[in-house]
Structure 1
Amino acid sequence: MDSSPNSSGKPVDDSEFLEMTQQDPAQVKILRQSLEHLASGLGGDALKEMAREVLSGRMSLREAANVSAYAEQAVEQAAPLAEKWASMSDRERDELAAEGERRLAEERRQLDDERRAESENRSGVKSRHDGRGWSLY
């Protein structure tokens, strides 16, 4: 399978994932990281191909879910996780859910810090086109 990027030469934009993550940039970041792990071959050849197709922008994640080879391998890879989940106590499930919530909160904090730093950098740097400090006279 061709692993070159989409015709624009850029990877898929995060906005492609916003709808399926309830517009949550932290969940988008985690979804992208998961796809990058799959693209490295973590989940087998079919999921590697699927992740590369999605990350390149050649296929949406929704389209990929409808490809039987991808769906079959996803189900196969998820089966042991489902068995493990079923064997967990309610307390263990709650702990795992809390760990997920902590990860999301940490991602949100990091994104907020990055936005704040970008905003501070922009407000402190004078654009060469801002019109301040220049006069024709």
Structure 2
Amino acid sequence: MDKIPYSSPRTMDHSELLEMAQQDSAQAKILKQSLEHLASGLAGDTLKEMAQEVLSGRMGLRDAAAVAAYAEEAVEQSAPLAERWAALSEGEREALAAEGRSRLDEERRQLEDGRRAEAENRSGTKARHDGRGWSLY
């Protein structure tokens, strides 16, 4: 399989990430960050290629998961994580779950703060020719 360079004029379709995250923008953002980490080569060349394909918009995440080479590598890479998870005590698992919930809550707060600031910027600035502030009389 020939490798396609990472740079592409296309971009990924974020709606698929939102759909996979059940319309939770914070989870979609974390999923995208995970793809960006994989694209850096964090988990080897195969998953790097897969993540780059998805981030560039050349392939959807579901389509990538259906590629045998990508799926097999993802399973292989996740096996040690599953083993470590199984070896944790119930308390350790709950602590990690709480940490994950905390990260999601923080992402949600940041996204909401960004939306609020954007809305304030839009409402606080007039359009150049909005007609307010002058009169013929």
Give the TM-score taking structure 2 as reference length: 0.92
2:46 paired residue number: 46
1:68 paired residue number: 68
Q: What is the CA distance between 1:72 and its match in structure 2?
A: 0.9
Which amino acid in the other structure matches residue 65 of structure 2?
Answer: A
Which amino acid in the other structure matches residue 57 of structure 1?
Answer: G
* 69-78 vs 10-19, greater mean Cα deviation: 10-19
Q: What is the CA distance between 1:90 and its match in structure 2?
A: 0.6
Which amino acid in the other structure matches residue 7 of structure 2?
Answer: S
2:7 paired residue number: 4
Deviations 1:34-77 (A, max 9, x none): 00000000011110000000001111100000101101110111
* 61-70 vs 127-136, greater mean Cα deviation: 127-136
1:123 paired residue number: 123
Equivalent residue of 2:18, what SS? helix
CA distance in 2, matches of 1:13, 1:60: 8
CA distance in 2, matches of 1:89, 1:32: 30
1:114 paired residue number: 114
- Residues 1:36 and 2:36 are matched in the alignment: yes
Q: What stretches of structure 1 of length at least 5 have no aligned partner? A: none
1:98 paired residue number: 98
Give the TM-score taking structure 1 as reference length: 0.92
Query: Percent same amino acid among aligned pairs?
Result: 72
What is the count of residue pairs matched by the alignment?
Answer: 134
Equivalent residue of 1:109, what SS? helix
Q: What stretches of structure 2 of length at least 5 have no aligned partner? A: none
CA distance in 2, matches of 1:136, 1:32: 53
Which amino acid in the other structure matches residue 119 of structure 1?
Answer: A
**What's the Cα RMSD here?**
1.4
Q: What is the CA distance between 1:14 and its match in structure 2?
A: 2.2
Deviations 1:66-110 (A, max 9, x none): 101101110111011000000001111111000000000000000
Q: What is the CA distance between 1:135 and its match in structure 2?
A: 5.1
CA distance in 2, matches of 1:60, 1:13: 8
